[in-house]
Amino acid sequence: MTDRSRLIPLIVACPLFLQNLDTSIMATALPSIARSLDVEALHLNLAITSYLLSLAVFLPASGWLADRFGPRRVFCGAIVCFSLGSALCGLAQSLPELVLFRVLQGMGGAMMVPVGRLILLRSVPSARMVAAMVWFTVPGAFGRLAGPLFGGLIVTIASWRWIFLLNVPFGVLGVTLASIFIDGEFEPVIERFDLAGFLLMSTGLVGMVGGLDTVGRGLVPHAATAAFIGTGALSLASYWLYSRARDGTVIDLAILRYKAYRTAVLGGMPLRIAIGASPFLMPLMLQLGFGLSPLQSGSLSVATAVGSLSVRTVMTTAIRRIGFRTLLLGATLVTSLFYASYGLFRPTTPHLLIFAVLLFGGLFNSLAMVTLNTLGYSDMPKPKMSRATALSSMMQQLSVSLGVAFGASLVALTAHLHGGSAAHLVAADFSPAFVVVGALTLCSLLFFVRLSHDEGAELRQH
């Protein structure tokens, strides 16, 4: 693999580093932010889901913008928008302000990752795609690795506001490297933007996730929750009918006919929902349930990222020798068992044991996700790549957003059943949530088992 083929994946993965750094840092700092803004810790899931939902809402426009204005230009502009939103989040004085600025941050993030993946897919030949995808995931793994430690350290010695301000210098670095090393030449595609489809899709996503985010939480009246979900479901159904009768819609659902891609997008949803729930729940359990400090919590949570990063050294060999289907089935099954095992943690559990379990959980989780992300584009024609990356990225962020909302609702429900409240969580309130998350992960196997034994054979050969 040439130096340039290795360098481009690292550069376009810079946004993935920023996103993972931002999310993992914030998860560790949630209790401190809650005390500072005088809100319940579980209510801060709004600050996470608003960002992820903003990602999902604006992702459908990323493919059109990249085709119209050029991938490099959109990529750099998105990093600037993300960095500006980060700076404003660091200045927020209330939960509504933080949520608003997180939406702005999500607008930039919505363009960064899919356009970066598009640049990668167009710049690297198929023969080198597996190795390139591994390099593409390395910065993101470092972001998850640094996040918990940075978050715990920053909250301990300074203010939680610096967790957002840290994104700014990394954003400057990303824009600089992209401007130097990524080719700016492109052939603009003059195509009308599907505004009607965009509005239907956005309304559907906001309604569904917003409604699910408030179920059983007491944040809004029950009638409002039902109205959110009903409006969202109706809008998504309307978009499905709308897209079937037209070409050039903002999200081309027809590309789901490609088997490997459909498996990665739809089959990967339960796995990604779990990925959203676990990093949200773990720091809360360690700090609110076990009474650990932010630094202690971050030092344990970082084990997941260490495991995720470790798998990169064996990823290419594992795919070549084991195959995509077998690897996906095995890694997903083991991942579900690890998620469920987190519910066995107790305040008296040795920290070394917690670290070891989280490390191997992160390793198998990463093994499944890298395999899935690589396989997903194996049967996708080049002209459809921009649309495919937009839909895939949108579904990924939507799944993670649902995971955060799902995790918060599970803990709130468990606390209520235990006779307590979401305002005063104890260790026992978290255990059932992890068991449910582990069980949910198994649903992905229903899709993965349908793959043929030689799925992705061309990629596997290289």
- Tell me the pLDDT band of 433, cut-offs 50, 70 and 90: very high
Give the best-scoring range by mean pLDDT among 149-153, 168-172, 177-181, 267-271: 267-271
What spatial distance separates the first Cα and last Cα of the chain, rounded to whole Å? 11
Question: What are the backbone dihedrals phi and psi of residue 186, each rounded to the nearest 5 degrees, phi first?
Answer: -160, 160
Residue 459 is predicted with a pLDDT of 58
Higher pLDDT, 140 or 274: 274
The whole-angstrom separation of Cα 38 and Cα 275 is 28
127-141, 219-233, 239-253, 332-346: which has the minimum mean pLDDT? 127-141
List, in order, residues 6 or more apart from 49 with CB less than 8 Å away: 209, 213, 401, 404, 405
What's the per-residue H, E or C state across 106-157? HHHHHHHHHHHHHHHHHHCCHHHHHHHHHHHHHHHHHHHHHHHHHHHHHHHH
Give the best-scoring range by mean pLDDT among 66-70, 176-180, 266-270, 389-393: 266-270
- For residue 421, give the 3-state DSSP assignment: strand
Please, is 231 exposed, middle or buried when counting C-beta atoms within 10 Å of its C-beta (0-12, 13-18, 19+)? middle
- Tell me the pLDDT band of 310, cut-offs 50, 70 and 90: confident
Domain boundaries, the chain: 3-183+250-461, 194-249
Phi-psi category of 218—alpha, beta or left, where left has phi over 0 and alpha has psi -120 to 50? left
Residue 26 is predicted with a pLDDT of 80
Q: Is the pLDDT of residue 2 over 90?
A: no
Residue 216 is predicted with a pLDDT of 59
Mean predicted confidence (pLDDT) in 287-291: 90
Q: Which of 166, 27, 52 is nearest to 103 (CA)?
A: 52
Question: What are the backbone dihedrals phi and psi of residue 221, each rounded to the nearest 5 degrees, phi first?
Answer: -60, 155
- Tell me the pLDDT band of 185, cut-offs 50, 70 and 90: low
Q: Is the pLDDT of residue 292 over 80?
A: yes
Mean predicted confidence (pLDDT) in 84-93: 91
Longest dimension (CA), the chain: 62
Report the chain's mean pLDDT, rounded to a whole number.
82
Q: Is the pLDDT of residue 169 over 60?
A: yes
Mean predicted confidence (pLDDT) in 281-288: 91
Higher pLDDT, 343 or 55: 343
Count other Cβ atoms within 10 Å, centred on residue 365. Answer: 26
- Tell me the pLDDT band of 1, cut-offs 50, 70 and 90: very low
- For residue 424, give the 3-state DSSP assignment: strand
Residue 313 is predicted with a pLDDT of 67
Residue 87 is predicted with a pLDDT of 92
Mean predicted confidence (pLDDT) in 131-154: 73
65-74, 127-136, 153-162: which has the minimum mean pLDDT? 127-136
Cα separation values, 96 from 37, 50, 100, 103, 211, Å = 10, 11, 6, 11, 17
Residue 344 is predicted with a pLDDT of 94
- Tell me the pLDDT band of 355, cut-offs 50, 70 and 90: very high
The whole-angstrom separation of Cα 49 and Cα 61 is 19
Higher pLDDT, 121 or 153: 153
421 DSSP β-pair partners: 424
The whole-angstrom separation of Cα 377 and Cα 190 is 25
CA angle 375, 377, 381 (to 5 degrees): 145
Higher pLDDT, 124 or 251: 251
| pLDDT digit string, tens, across residues 202-248 | 888 888 877 877 765 566 677 888 888 899 899 989 998 888 878 77
CA 171 to chain centre: 19
Return the CATH superfamily for domain 3-183+250-461. MFS general substrate transporter like domains (1.20.1250.20)
Count other Cβ atoms within 10 Å, centred on residue 65. Answer: 23
Phi-psi category of 151—alpha, beta or left, where left has phi over 0 and alpha has psi -120 to 50? alpha
Amino acid type, 283: P
